[in-house]
Amino acid sequence: MQTVLWCIAAALTLVCAGLTAKIVLLRASVRQIAEQAEEKLAEQSNAPIAPDSADGAVRRLARGLTQTLDKTIALGRKYREGDGELKRAITNVSHDLRTPLTSAAGYVGLLKKSGLSPKQSEYLSVVEGRIGAMKKLTDELLAYSVAASDETELDFCEIDLAAALEDSLTQFYAAFEERGISPVIRIPEGKVMRVADNDALARVFGNIISNAVRYSDGDFCVEMKENGEILFENSASALDEVSAKRLFDRFFTVENARGSTGLGLSIAKLFVERMNGSIGASWSEGRLCIRMKL
């Protein structure tokens, strides 16, 4: 009886040892597959995932993962190629449209001085407005393609965020007055230095403030903290939680948007991210808050 028990114990020991070895080998194979998959994605490689394991299930897993990653890589390349072509097309169209639009605006100016009847002046004002809207759209399209292009290098330097924000707010003084908005501004007295591109930062501030002036229900508050975080807040009854999350999507506009291209905040987001910052929007109880940090 004792001999039988010893045999059973020995057999169980061998089985446990075998299972332990199998588990160790499987864990090693899984790590190897994971490492090769990460390397394949990082290098966009066509090389197959080939673990050292001879286990059939592991081999099938590696083949299936290789096929899935190959399809993912191919789709990624196709998307990048299409996105690059779209950006180049936007840039070319924007450049091509600017010259005829500028020429048309010049002829409108000449017609306005030629002694038109009241009805003709009314029609000409409509034409002038449409030309202005087209010029704005082409400028925004060009700005978007520049912001989204990896080929366009930003000129980074030390910038005082507080001074840059004050300068942008000053440029909207007339717009605030026209809308009857008395902005509440809280900016630190000392300098808040960051490394950024001066033109890109001015564009970001300008687009955010312009959006607030256009959609605010009559108020606007901006607060900069000493850590560089900036909060732009205003009442916005035309928005809701869903639309607030889409504000940075290109070409997105709210229903009552007038003269909006839907690109302003998209451009702001692209520039902020290229300057290693973050930006987002939230909406609660009728108030919109855009939070930005460099």
Residue 102 located in a structural domain:
yes
Residue 37 located in a structural domain:
no
pLDDT at 151: 65
What CATH number corresponds to the domain at position 237?
Answer: 3.30.565.10
Q: Are residues 169 and 281 in the same domain?
A: yes
pLDDT at 224: 93
Q: Are residues 83 and 106 in the same domain?
A: yes
Terminal CA-CA length for the chain: 77
Q: Are residues 142 and 175 in the same domain?
A: no
Q: Are residues 233 and 285 in the same domain?
A: yes
pLDDT at 18: 64
Q: Which of 22, 3, 26 lies closest to 11, judged by CA?
A: 3
- Do the Cβ atoms of 237 and 223 come closer than 8 Å? no
**Residues, the chain:** 294
What CATH number corresponds to the domain at position 109?
Answer: 1.10.287
Residue 259 pLDDT more than 60? no
- Do the Cβ atoms of 15 and 21 come closer than 8 Å? no
Structure tokens at 268: 């702001």
Residue 187 located in a structural domain:
yes
pLDDT at 35: 84
State which of 148, 169, 203 marks the end of a domain: 148
**Each residue of 36-60: pLDDT tens digit?**
888 878 888 888 888 877 777 878 8
Mean pLDDT over the full length of the chain: 82
* CA gap 290, 277 in Å, rounded: 13
Residue 283 pLDDT more than 70? yes
CA 7 to chain centre: 68
Residue 244 located in a structural domain:
yes
Residue 87 pLDDT more than 80? no
H-assigned helices in 2-51: 2-43
Q: Which of 269, 149, 142, 262 lies closest to 204, judged by CA?
A: 269
Residue 39 located in a structural domain:
no
pLDDT band at 261 (very low <50, low <70, confident <90, very high): low
Q: Are residues 171 and 199 in the same domain?
A: yes
**Each residue of 94-111: pLDDT tens digit?**
777 777 888 888 888 888
Residue 291 pLDDT more than 90? yes
Backbone angles phi, psi at 157, to 5 degrees: -160, 170
Structure tokens at 256: 């009552």
H helix count then E strand count, the chain = 8, 7
Structure tokens at 16: 């446990």
* CA gap 81, 65 in Å, rounded: 24
| Overall domain count for the chain | 2
Higher-confidence position of 89 and 211: 211
Higher-confidence position of 13 and 157: 157
* CA gap 13, 178 in Å, rounded: 87
Residue 6 located in a structural domain:
no
Quickly tell me which residue has 């930006």 as its tokens: 279
Q: What residues does 195 pair with on adjacent strands?
A: 158
Task: Report, as an integer, the average pLDDT of 240-247.
Answer: 83
Q: Are residues 184 and 246 in the same domain?
A: yes
Residue 123 pLDDT more than 70? yes
> How many CB atoms are located within 10 Å of the residue 49 CB?
22
Domain containing 134 equals 78-148
- Do the Cβ atoms of 188 and 164 come closer than 8 Å? no
CB contact set of 168 (below 8 Å; sequence gap of 6+)? 202, 205, 206, 209
pLDDT band at 9 (very low <50, low <70, confident <90, very high): low
Q: Are residues 170 and 107 in the same domain?
A: no
**Each residue of 136-175: pLDDT tens digit?**
878 877 777 777 776 678 889 999 999 999 999 999 999 8
* pTM, to two decimals: 0.64
- Do the Cβ atoms of 134 and 101 come closer than 8 Å? yes
Higher-confidence position of 107 and 229: 229
**Each residue of 218-227: pLDDT tens digit?**
899 999 998 8
